[in-house]
Structure 1
Amino acid sequence: MELLSPVPRYKYRPLENSTTIRVLVLYAASDFSARLVADIVHVDRKDLLRPMNSQDYPECCRFYEAVSYCWGDPIFTCQLALENGTSFLQITPNVDAMLRRMRRPHKSKYLWIDALSLNQADDVEKSHQVQLMGEIYQQAKKVLFWMGEENGQPISALFNYLNFMAKEFPRWMDKSYNDWQAQFMEQYPGALHNYLSRPWFWRRWIVQEAILGVDSTILCGEHKMDWKVFRFAVQRILSIKDYLPEHSPHPTPFPQSSSQLVNADLLRAINQVIALGAAPSKILHRMMEFRAAECSDPRDRIFALFGVVNDIYEPSNPSPNLSNSLGIAFSVDYSKPWNVVYCEFAKACVEAGHGNEILSHAAHFGSLSHADSLRPSWKWRWARNSVRTTFRPVTDTDPLHPIYNIN
């Protein structure tokens, strides 16, 4: 008896030009457990700029949705069937669950997903496509934020409460404190804190994905919520400190300090969400603002923020405005190891006139020389989260020690 040969792994076709992207066509299935079947098509981004009533280009050009998610543990135990089942791609359980939740029962869905739309084995392609990701998310019909399954959390109740809070918050200010203190205590801080502790909120790539999406929706298991409404409701929680309970004129059985309700961890998470609505800013400011956001590739500590900054330009294509106003000339290049990327980035910042800001990063990130004595101390270890070093003024009685190795 002849053994059947295994289905071959999918081979990516090279992209035709610098404006081409890959879109996943996820085929419909009414059965949640049915095999995931899809195709990968090439789309020229120039077609996205045509009028929406134009009928002479593929539907996926007009209706693709970009996905923001966490890869999850790098355990590729699931399969996505492609090319009529004649090839496959290995995917993680989280991506498998995400595709099943997004799949429609009767109509195909068009998705841009970095793990599938980029050839992860091609550093040259990835370097170029990463520079386009900001535009890819901006041009998407919708951006979908996949948070994972419910995992026993009261997601339905939480989303309902946040939707109600966003809608009714102004009217709440006119109600007695006790009326909505009880509602607050029923849902917070545990449910919201647990939700904001999900890996998605602390993933570095979501910064540009959340900021640049024109129409974004949160998906958690079978539940969904509009991203703008979610951010608005979460922002309102900061106002609660002005009304709970030490500010209340009424007797209350609740804790006598609002810090017990909105603790430091929850406050940090809320501020992270609020920052995801900010306008483009400077790269060094962004790196400090999102210093707690994580990524698996240390080079992405820098590269993942390029889509939401306004002072980076490609050296081969300088911008007249940036090159004359402290703009930083730097390219995305995944062929270089992370420590070389960090050194070259620090040098580019200094050459652009940002020397003082580079030195200030020492208070939060430490120096490469701590890990490698041959590295200059003014080039920082952006691969680590903030070490939050505290500087104090130097006095005349302090002994002098060499702090920086400038070379």
Structure 2
Amino acid sequence: MASLETNPDAANVESDVDYWFEYQFLDTSQQSIRLFKILPDLSEDGRIQCYMWHATTDSRYQCASYRWRPADQSQQRKLIEVNGGLFAVLPNLWAFLNSFRLNLSDSRQTHPLWIDAISIDQTCTREKNHQVNQMGEIFKQATEVIIWLGEGTESQRTALQMLESICLSRSTYPVLNGTRRQDAVWKPSIVEALVALFDNEYWERIWIVQEIALAQERSVMVGTVRMEWSTWYDFYSLAARSAVAEEIFHFDRLLQERFEQSCAKAVLDDYALLLGSRFPLADLLSKFGMFNCSDLRDRVFALRNICSEGEFLKVNYDMEIEALFCEVVTLSLEQSILGGRILANALEISYSRLRSGSITLRLPEFTIKPVVIEGQLTRHYVTTIMCQTCKKRLRVPEINAINVIQTGTWWNGRGHHKRLLYLVCLDRLEMPDHIVFRADEVSNEHNLNRKKAKTEFYDRASGPMVFSPEKFQGNPLAIVSVRGNALSQSRKSLIAKEFKYSETVFLHDAPGPGLPRLCEIFTETGEEIPFAGHPIIGVAHYIFSFLERMSYGGPEDRDTQRQTAVLQTKAGKIPIFYNPYRQVAACAVPFNVHEHSRQVSMNTIIATQPQIQIVPTIDKVKNKSFPVVSIVKGMTFALVDLTDCPEVFTALAPAKSPDVELDSEWSPSLVGCFYYKVLAKSEKEGEPTIHNIQARMMSHGIEDPGTGSACCALGCYLALHSSDGAVKADASEPETELSKKTEDLKLAAKTERKVFGIQQGVEMGRVCTIAVEVDVKTDEQGKSSIANVILSGRGNIHLKGEILGT
């Protein structure tokens, strides 16, 4: 839906007429709506004919989601007939009605339509308020929402048909999940046309966010071509995956950037989160607040039905923008935290106007307790503040009726005092870099329960170095302590991309004593992955050596001081351990080891590493193939043994992974290429077999200095293929929950422990030392399988800071 505007008069349409359609009064005391059907035949004058009647949201109908205003405001309107009377519509809507009429034989187009420009009397503000207030229910109850992207070009319509044939083919679609080069599937003309549709002005409209989010079913329509929403979303999911995106776009960086920066991708990035969920208005405005609309008030009203404050916010088109600003800020002070600057930007209220004294906020009455401020101010108000810069104690008067600019002149000071005051009035209106404070306690006379005011507008970030005790060695990692903030997936993705580390972890507080902490892992490309070893070890060091600051008491504490905790990841619950005496962190790795039936040939690897062709010892492995192993679903590695040709190992360069074919139901997956050479093997009676290995991991055109999940995959593969059992199992799954392991992680009889000491990152100057312990059990038939996998390593925290305004 776009902004609700008045229908044109006769002077603005293509011909003069005598008889115009007139709306009948709509009963606004109930959930009344107007529905209409398009008749198959044109009128005698060649106009589209519609029959309209009154109904309720309980009826069966379809909604159209479309771009209201044309880019060219001078476009002449077209006439249709509604119940015999003439009705003027904009060209884009006329094109939809005509295309819909031509497709009436489609079984999906048997239900009547609800379209705002036709079904709502735009001249009646009272009716507009009623209809927009129930807009959420209208789209929620519709059997389907049709997303109209215009008539499109011939190439765009053809591309849509080709996309449907590719994605709906059962035999082809698995190929799209990474098992074959994408440029063999997608023609450049198809991709260019699809990107143009992602760039369509439709996606820039603020109303389409809730229309898509609330719909039961969706379809995409260009001209007379109509496609299921799931097919459209499949292309987005594939094109947004960095592992295959470059191939889809035929390595055309400009074309790929157009896709990445399109408003359609911005909407689809958060599409799954918006389904059935409500978010604070501030979060939605920070994402969609600058989307287009004809009436600035629509930037609030269009998000009303998907924001957590929506039930308290009423649509009123008689309200001025300044009054709406004050109402939303006041409402948000009671219901949730809202950034005043974000709202001001969305409503295009300049900062100078906020400071001019022309906008006054009436806040709920608070009974304020004087406090000393430490930390960060949130939405709460206090009578006294101690400035943390100069330690001067300041007083705040006139709490019950706060004028925005008066907060800036209360103390008539210069510098940091004056800047500090803007924060008192509107959260995050201005974020000084040298003053950090927090209201300690506040009570509301309407609520006798005291409230702790400890909500933070920032996330703490730490930077451990993993798999090395030395500063600036090992594999760097960013850990963002979320501290209760509801960050969207897209915001986490942006933060991970900004850090540019191989992984960034978002670590949540435990919901209660002894309960698991949620741990979300994102790659440098912004993708969330189910498990990675180096982030888990880094989090263990962060929790035990930094947050809990464990100290070593002496020799008698070597074993008794070991601590444990549990992390909740997408791969399952992961127990973590820390030994302060040895300063080693470990985790019980979740695993579902699977060796894929198709190996990867050396020729395929050479295609990604062409420089190794001239190395003399390449002939030793040129005709070999190498195993492809998943440690869990979604984390897969080609394991390339270069023990016999160390010169080839040295000549490797950062590159993308080779194309591999995964077994069914094991894709999509992150695929890396793990090159290794066995340096030594120690086998002493009564002790575990120890393999000393040097390794390198390449993926996405980069080399990773320390990859715990790849080391675990290699350890499991070598353990299975070198155990004493006569028959090796193809896959292994843990017998019991990892959290129920015995205290010393040792297993019952008939198991064999193999230890792998792996050095990685040597060539990068970031030496990582990684230990993997694998327990292999052998059953009575001689079949071997993995029983447990333990990953461990040292680490250090080398920096910490805060992410402001997340």
Q: What TM-score, normalized to structure 1?
A: 0.73
8 Å contact 2:178–2:244 — kept in the other structure?
Answer: no
Query: Deviation of residue 113 (structure 1)?
Result: 0.2
Q: Which of 337, 348, 368 is the aligned partner of 2:350?
A: 368
2:269 counterpart (267, 271, 274): 274
2-side partners of 1:401 and 1:39: how far apart? Answer: 65
CA spacing shift, 1:120–1:183, aligned 2, 3 Å: same
Per the alignment, do residues 363 and 135 of structure 1 end up closer, same or farther by CA in structure 2, a change over 3 Å counting? closer
Aligned AA (1:44): T
* Cα-to-partner distance string for 1:145-178 (whole Å, 9 max, x where unaligned): 111111354332244236514654433446443x
Distance across 2 between alignment mates of 1:364 and 1:11: 36
Aligned to 1:68: 65
Q: 1:311 matched to which residue of 2?
A: 309
Partner of 1:291: 289
Task: Say if 1:150 and 1:220, in contact at 8 Å, map to a contact too.
Answer: yes
Question: Given the alignment of the two structures, is residue 193 of structure 1 paired with residue 195 of structure 2, yes or no?
Answer: yes
SS at match of 1:25: strand
Query: Of residues 318, 330, 347 in structure 1, which corresponds to 2:330?
Result: 347
Amino acid at match of 2:300: I
**Larger relative helix fraction:** 1
1:176-217 Cα offsets, whole Å, 9 max, x none, are: 43xx22444624753232111111111111111111111211
Preserved contact between residue 38 and residue 51 of structure 2 (Cα < 8 Å): yes
Q: Is the 8 A contact 2:21 2:82 kept in 1?
A: yes
1:29-68 pair list within 5 angstroms: 29=41, 34-45=46-57, 48=58, 61-62=59-60, 64-68=61-65
The one-character-per-residue Cα deviations of 1:277-317 (angstroms, maximum 9, x if unpaired) are 4232222211222134211111100000112223322xxxx
**Which entry has the higher C-alpha Rg, 1 or 2?**
2
CA separation of 1:172/1:89 partners in 2, compared to 1, >3 Å: closer, same or farther? closer
1:8 equivalenced with 2:6 (yes/no): no
Partner SS, residue 115 of structure 1: helix
% identical equivalent positions: 22
Q: Any residues of structure 2 matched to 1:161-310 within 5 Å, and which?
A: 161=163, 164-165=166-167, 168-173=172-177, 175-177=179-181, 180-184=182-186, 186-187=188-189, 190-239=192-241, 241-243=242-244, 255=251, 262-263=256-257, 266-269=260-263, 270-277=265-272, 278-279=274-275, 280-282=277-279, 283-310=281-308
Question: Which blocks of at least 5 consecutive residues in structure 1 are unaligned?
Answer: 49-60, 249-253, 314-328, 380-394
The one-letter code matched in structure 1 to 2:268 is V
SS at 2:292's partner residue?
coil
Match of 2:138 in 1: 136
In 1: Cα distance, 2:344 partner to 2:18 partner: 51
**How many Å apart are 1:98 and its aligned residue?**
0.9
- How many residues are aligned here? 344
User: What residue identity is the alignment partner of 2:256?
Assistant: V
Tell me which amino acid in the other structure corresponds to 1:242. Answer: A
Query: Cα deviations across residues 205-264 of structure 1 (Å, max 9, x unaligned)?
Result: 11111111112111101211111221122112122x22466xx9xxxxx64xx8555326
Tell me how far apart the structure 2 counterparts of residues 103 and 112 of structure 1 sit (CA, whole Å): 15
CA distance in 2, matches of 1:18, 1:370: 43
Aligned twin of 2:401: none
Distance verdict in 2 for CA 1:11–1:377, change over 3 Å: same
Decide whether aligned partners of structure 1 residues 268 and 378 sit closer, same or farther in structure 2, where only a CA change above 3 A counts.
farther
The code of the aligned residue for 2:80 comes to L
1:112-131 Cα offsets, whole Å, 9 max, x none, are 00001111111111112112
Q: Does 1:331 align with 2:314?
A: yes
What secondary structure is seen at the aligned counterpart in 2 of 1:154?
A: helix
CA distance in 1, matches of 2:289, 2:186: 30
**In structure 2, do the counterparts of structure 1 residues 358 and 181 end up closer, same or farther at CA, with 3 Å as the change threshold?**
same
- The residue identity in structure 2 corresponding to 1:69 is Y
Kept in 1, the 8 Å contact 2:285–2:343? The answer is no
TM-score (normalised: structure 2): 0.39
Instruction: For residues 104-144 of structure 1, give each alpha carbon's deviation from its aligned partner in whole angstroms, at most 9, with x where no partner exists.
Output: 55797611000011111111111121121111112112211
1:19 is matched with: 31
What residue number does 2:379 align with?
A: none
Aligned partner of 2:123: which letter?
A
Shift of 1:101: 0.6
Question: 1:28·1:109 contact (CA, 8 Å) conserved in 2?
Answer: no
Distance 1:365 1:400 in 2: 28
CA distance in 2 between counterparts of 1:13 and 1:192 reads 42
Which whole-Å CA distance do the structure 2 matches of 1:20 and 1:37 have between them?
Answer: 23
Whichever structure has more strand as a proportion of its residues is: 2
RMSD: 3.6
Q: Report the secondary structure of 1:228's partner residue.
A: helix
Residue identity matched to 1:266: E
Shift of 1:88: 1.6
**Structure 2: 5+ residue stretches without partners:** 1-15, 363-387, 391-413, 427-806
Alignment of 1:151-170 (within 5 A): 151-161=153-163, 164-165=166-167, 168-170=172-174
Q: Distance in 1 between matches of 2:155 and 2:39?
A: 30
Alignment of 1:80-99 (within 5 A): 80-83=80-83, 85=84, 87-99=85-97
Q: Which has the higher contact order (CA 8 A, sep 6+)?
A: 1
Partner Cα separation in structure 1 for residue 33 and residue 17 of structure 2: 29
C-alpha deviation, 1:91, in angstroms: 0.8
Is the CA contact (8 Å cut-off) linking 2:160 and 2:225 kept in structure 1? no
Within 2, Cα distance between the matches of 1:363 and 1:38? 41
- Using the alignment, how far apart are the partners of 1:41 and 1:368 within structure 2? 45
